[in-house]
Amino acid sequence: MIRFIPRRYWAVIAVALALTMSVLDGTIVNVALPTLSREFGTSPSSTIWIVNAYQLTITMSLLSFSALGDIYGYKRIFLIGTTIFCSTSLFCALSSSFAMLTVARILQGIGASAIMSVTTALLRIIYPPQYIGRGMSINAMVVAVSIAAGPSLAGAILSVASWNWLFAINVPLGICAIITGYFLLPQNPCKDGPKRKFDKIGGISNALTFGLLIYSLEGIAHHENWRMIALQVLLLLVIGTFFIRRQLRQEVPILPLDLMRIPIFALSVLSSITSFTAQLLAMVSLPFYLQNVAGRNEVETGLLLTPWPVATILTAPVAGRLIEKYHPGLLGGIGMVVYATGLLLLALLPGQPTNMDIAWRLMLCGMGFGLFQTPNNSTMISAAPRSRSGGANGMQGTARLLGQTLGTTFVALIFSVTSATDSMPVCMYVAIGFALVAAIVSCLRISQPVPMRGRSRKIRFLIGSHRSSL
């Protein structure tokens, strides 16, 4: 069977499989949190750290692993990350206490971070430049579907097995990804690898900066002690200033600020942050609406949310091919307008909506997001020189995680100041605002040359002039 399937496809399968597991594990546990709270005897606010520890670890280490990928090779970092993720998933499944599971999730987050840091960089190597859009469509599809399908898949697993299987299922899948990746993933040439050294101080300050940022936002969202929040913000300003100033002096920084000199790259980062903020505003608020207002149970909620990832699956590959003919800025702008339209229709749902009323609106959202995300990811990764693919990949992942964090923070704030019936429409209107900002920013890229169509010389010039000015 392997003989009849091109090597490229097997390599893509390995990347997609590992990426699916790492993204999915950020949301799949949410449904099981009440069960875990009862089993471990912990409060709901404490139990949520099973989720937060994973996401926080990824955010703190993602850019560092991206830099390591540029130095030591994307394939090596991918295999190490997948091995760590696979083994720590078994650790999670065998955990018998809250503390044990939390530690296991932190270690699992390290593996997931290593995987996420190099996936788009690997796809850039697997696919020829003229077909990079098709590779990015796979990445966009996997990320969007994994985020959206987490609750549905969790509900299906928990209906026939214990919560341990939410993690145990990763073990055989991870082994398949490791074996396939080891034999079939391409090696990337690391011309500057031996000359470069990993900036350890930069890595630590990067972790502290993003960790404090996320933790401060979480504290604001959950109305924690304002003095503690003020202290965290002060530390964030001090450490963050030191980190950025240090990065500006580095020839190849962990935080790729030099790449932000490329206009189309900077615009793609901004549109990514705003689009994922809009997505999480919708995806986090909708389950509460469906269960508490629309009167659906957990199983019905999971099924009703399914049209979103299905539409993304259908749209993302189409968007990947359209990139070869149309400007990605235009496609992204259209996608976000379609997405905003779906959000508006959700906000205007009738008092007693039918399943079909909800389903087709969610499908419209999924189509719009799939049409946006593929061109955006393609532009971001292609705008950077090949030697900096890891840095571009890390920035892409960081933008996504920041957007998701902002989205969940806004949901928590809105829920705290609105009633149960009003919270979902308010979340949708705020999400519409972010989606329209993403659409405008995406359209601003139309005046910029398309990087995957032979503009790399101009990009290298921009980076070179920036370094010389430093």
Domain boundaries, the chain: 7-199+250-469, 200-249
Q: Give the tens place of pLDDT for each residue, 12-44.
A: 889 989 988 888 887 788 777 777 878 888 876
CA–CA separation, 217 and 410 (whole Å)? 9
Name the CATH code of domain 7-199+250-469 (choices 1.10.8.60, 1.20.120.1200, 1.20.1250.20, 3.30.365.10).
1.20.1250.20
Closest Cα to residue 256, out of 61, 445, 401, 388? 388
- Round to the nearest angstrom and report the end-to-end CA distance of the chain: 54
Confidence band for 452, pLDDT divided at 50, 70 and 90: low
Give me the mean pLDDT over the 229-240 stretch. Answer: 91
Burial 244-254 (b: 16+ CB within 10 A, else e): eebbeebebbb
Measured CA distances, 40 to 25, 56, 92 (Å): 20, 22, 14
Identify which of 83, 108, 89, 98 has the alpha carbon closest to the alpha carbon of residue 169.
Answer: 89
With bands split at pLDDT 50, 70 and 90, how would you rate the model's confidence at 189? low
CB 410 within 8 A of CB 281: yes
Residues 6+ apart with CB under 8 A from 342: 361, 362, 363, 364, 365, 366, 367, 368
Query: CA gyration radius for the chain?
Result: 21
3-state SS assignment for residue 2: coil
- Convert the pLDDT of each residue in 397-442 to its tens digit: 888 888 887 887 888 788 878 887 788 899 999 999 999 999 999 9
Distance CA 71, CA 192 (A): 7
Q: What is the pLDDT of residue 419?
A: 80
Residue 155 scores a pLDDT above 90: no
Q: Which of 42-46, 302-306, 309-313 has the lowest mean pLDDT?
A: 42-46
* Highest-pLDDT range among 56-60, 189-193, 236-240, 287-291: 236-240
Across 118-122, 208-212, 356-360, least confident range: 118-122
Instruction: Please tell me the distance from the alpha carbon of residue 200 to that of residue 230, in angstroms, as a whole number.
Output: 28
* Three-class secondary structure of residue 5 per DSSP: coil
The pLDDT value recorded for residue 85 is 95
Confidence of residue 341 (pLDDT cuts 50, 70, 90): very high
The closest alpha carbon to 210, from 247, 251, 264, 261, belongs to 247
Q: How many Cβ atoms from other residues are within 10 Å of residue 377's Cβ? A: 32
